[in-house]
Amino acid sequence: MTIEFLVASAIGVLTAAGIYLILRFRTFPVILGTSFLSYAVNIYLFSTGRLIVGAPPVLQGYGDYTYTDPLPQALVLTAIVIGFGMTAVVLMIALAAYLSGGHDKIDMQDDDASEDRA
C-alpha cells in the first residue's frame, strides 16, 4: 500500500463524508461537514507539492539534493488558521440563530417570515 493511495483515499473519504454532511437538514451536521471538507482540503494542499518521504523541506546549498516543496506546508498552515477561525465564527452565528429562532433547521422558513410581518 503506497503513500499515494493512503493520502488520496483519505482526501476522498473526508470529502465524501463532508459532502454528505453538508447536505443534511440541521446546522450542526452541516458545520461538521464543512470541517471535514476543510480537513480534506488541508491534506490535498499538502500533497500539491508532490509526496516525497523523508526529505527536508529546504535546500542545502545548490547541490543535487532531494527536498520536498515547503510552500504547500506554508499554505496549509494559513488554511488551517483561517479554517479554524471560520468554524468558530459559523458556530457562533448558528448558535445565535438557534437560540433566537428556536430551531436549528438550515433552510429559511419563508412563510413564517411573511406571516410575522403581516
Partner 1 sequence: MSHWIITPILLPTLLGAFIVLSVRHQVALQRVFSLVGLSLLLINALGLFVYAQSGDIWVYELGAWPAPFGIVIMLDRLSALMVLLTAVLAMCVMLYAIGSDWDKRGKHFHALFQFQLMGVIGAFMTGDAFNLFVFFEILLIASYGLMTFGGGTRRLQAGTQYVIYNLLGSTLFLFALGTLYNVTGTLNMADMAARIAVLEPEHTALLRVGVVMALMVFAVKAAILPLHFWLPESYAAGPAPVAALFAIMTKVGAYAILRMFTLAFPQDSPAIAGSYDVWLLPVIVISLAVGMIGILGAKSLSKMVAYAAIGSVGTLLIAIALFTPEATAAAIYYVVHSTLATAALFLIVDLIVSRRPQWQDTIREDRPMPQNGLVAAFYFAAAIAMAGMPPLSGFLGKLLILDAAVGNWWLWGAILITSLIAIMGFGRAGSLVFWKGYGLPETDAPAYEHPRQPLAFVAIGALMAGIVAMTVLAGPMHRFAIATAEQLYDTDAYISAVINNTMEESMAHEKDGSGHAPVDEHLLQTEGGEHGTDHPQEATDGHAGESH
C-beta of 6: minimal distance to partner 1 in Å?
18
Place of cell 476543510: 38
CA distance 88 to 34: 12
HSE value, Cβ hemisphere, 13 Å, CA-based, for 79 = 17
The nearest distance, CB 34 to partner 1, in angstroms, is: 5
The residue among 9 and 78 lying less far from partner 1, judged by its C-beta, is 78
Is residue 89 a contact point for partner 1 (CB under 8 A)? yes
d(CA 94, CA 63): 53
In three-state secondary structure terms, 104 is: coil
State the residues that interact with partner 1 by CB under 8 A: 22, 27, 30-31, 34, 37-38, 41, 44-45, 47-49, 56-62, 70-75, 77-79, 81-83, 85-87, 89-90, 93-94, 96-97, 100-101, 106-108, 113-114, 117-118
